[in-house]
Amino acid sequence: MEQTAVKEPPEKAVVTGHRPETIRLKPTRGFSRVLSPKELWRYRDLAFQIAARDVTVRYRQTALGAAWAVLQPVGFMVVFTIFFGNLAGVSSDGQPYALFALTALVPWTFFANAMLLGSESLVSNSALVSKIYFPRIFMPAGAIAAGFVDLSVSLVILTVIVLVWGVVPTLAVLLLPLLIAIMAAAVMGVAAGLSAVNVRYRDVRYVIPFTVQMWLFATPIAYPSSLLDEPWRVISAINPMVGVVEGFRWAFLGSPDAPWALIGVSAASALVFLAAGLAYFDRVERAFADVI
């Protein structure tokens, strides 16, 4: 398994040097692999290849290609604007409702797709998991990483739409990487945990679309978080997407007051999601090939 220990005949030496390392394989308990940076580094090329595969495969033989990255949030925006904005008259904190919804739907689409694809990643690659060793965490991680391509495309489109509408984003857009990191950490934890449960109980497959729907309505996407009174508003940010979505609106639409409290709570909560998901994944990873 040791990458640096390839012993080559001198005339075609590609990788040189170290003595081969001995790996002891024995029953393990507790935490073992996922959190071993050395192991992940060894297989870094595989991580890249899996993410590249997921990106390529997603749009190969699709008629619209990367346009799908944009169609999904825009479609939801239209529906939400008609039903919630116009018919139900839901408040949008003084912003044009369409923009209000779209700025939230762009990060949400990333989150929802990453959750769906990440949770299925181990099961849909079961042939690989049962035949070959590699750090299994690359499967959900690769699916999530592939989602960044879509996110980048839709962020560009979002910026264009916002500018065309005549709204000038605030300097807070510089905080977007932080917001995206919060979102990625949360979805990584969720996808790692659910993909691991999915290996044993395929029920997860049916629970996930439902969960995504519930999560959509539990997040202030169609409505503003200001509908909630304090302290419930801040407490609701335990859902990491609350801080992310309100952060996106603040950055792109320049909402009056910065939602620092929401972002702070969501960041802490995302780290808890991440730690819990990875910890569970790590504990059950060793049995994946036995039960998948």
Partner 1 sequence: MSDVAIQTEELGKRYNIGVGTRGYDTLRESIVNTAKSLGRRVKRGSSETAEGRTVWALKDVSVTVRTGEVVGLIGHNGAGKSTLLKILSRIVEPSTGWADVTGRAGSLLEVGTGFHPELTGRENIFLNGAILGMRRSEIRARFDEIVEFADMEQFLDTPVKRYSSGMSVRLAFAVAAHLEPEILLVDEVLAVGDAAFQRKSLAKMSEVASEGRTVIFVSHNLAIIQALCQRGILLERGRAVVDGPVGETVDQYLRSLEMGASDDLLDRADRDGRSWRQSQISRLALYDGISGKPDVVVGGRPARIVVELTEILPMTECRLTIVNSLGQPVASLDSELSAPVDTRDSELGPQIQCSIDMISLLPGRYRIDVLLKGRRQIQDGLHAAAFFEVQPGVIGERPMPISGAEGDVVIPHSWRLPVP
Residue 112: half-sphere exposure toward Cβ, Cα within 13 Å: 22
| Interaction pattern, residues 132-171, with partner 1; x per rule: CB under 8 A | xxx-------------------------------------
Q: What minimum distance in Å lies between the beta carbon of 212 and partner 1? A: 18
**Residue from the set 10, 11, 22, 89 that interacts with partner 1 by CB under 8 A:** 22
Asked whether position 60 contacts partner 1 by CB under 8 A, the answer is yes
> What is the torsion angle, in degrees rounded to the nearest 10, for the CA atoms of residue 188, residue 243, residue 241 and residue 82?
-150
Instruction: State the sign of the Cα–Cα–Cα–Cα dihedral 274, 281, 143, 101.
Output: negative
DSSP string, 39-73: HHHHTHHHHHHHHHHHHHHHHTT-SSGGGHHHHHH
Query: In whole angstroms, what separates CA 277 from the centre of its chain?
Result: 13
CA geometry: angle at 143 spanning 245 and 250, to 5°? 15
- Establish if 36 lies at the interface with partner 1 (CB under 8 A): no
Nearer to partner 1 by Cβ, of 186 and 204: the residue is: 204
Burial of 146: CB neighbours in 10 Å, binned 0-12, 13-18, 19+ = buried
Question: Is residue 30 at the binding interface for partner 1, with CB under 8 A as the rule?
Answer: no
| CA distance to 36, 68, 155, 282, per residue, from 159 (Å) | 39, 17, 6, 39
Rank residues 44 and 83 by Cβ distance to partner 1 and give the closer one. Answer: 44
The window from 40-48, 71-79, 104-112, 172-180 that contacts partner 1 (CB under 8 A) reads 40-48
Part in contact with partner 1 (CB under 8 A); list of ranges 24-32, 72-80, 183-191, 246-254: 24-32
CB of 201 to partner 1, least distance (A): 7
The only residue of 16, 17, 21, 75 in contact with partner 1, by rule CB under 8 A: 21
Q: Which residues bind partner 1 (CB under 8 A)?
A: 1-3, 5-9, 12, 14-15, 20-28, 43, 45-46, 48-50, 52-53, 56-57, 60-61, 127-128, 130-134, 199-203, 206, 286-287, 289-292
